[in-house]
Amino acid sequence: MQFVKTGLESVGRTTLTCYLIQSILSTFVFSTDLAWAYMDTLTSLSRY
């Protein structure tokens, strides 16, 4: 049973790590998109 428990713990930890990395990446990409949209708006406003 100890082997199964250790296996489950490592799988859970790996899944958690992947989930964390994915959420951090998606947040970063989302904020980068927002920043680019903001820059586009500023440049189009400064053209007038």
d(CA 1, CA 47): 69
Asked if the model's pLDDT at residue 45 lies above 90, the reply is no
d(CA 23, CA 17): 10
Q: What is the pLDDT of residue 48?
A: 66
Asked if the model's pLDDT at residue 46 lies above 70, the reply is yes
Q: For residue 47, what pLDDT band results from cuts at 50, 70 and 90? A: confident
DSSP-assigned states of every residue in the chain: -HHHHHHHHHHHHHHHHHHHHHHHHHHHHHHHHHHHHHHHHHHHHHH-
Q: What digits encode the pLDDT tens for the residues 2-43?
A: 888 898 899 999 999 999 999 999 999 888 998 999 999 989
- Largest Cα span, the chain: 71
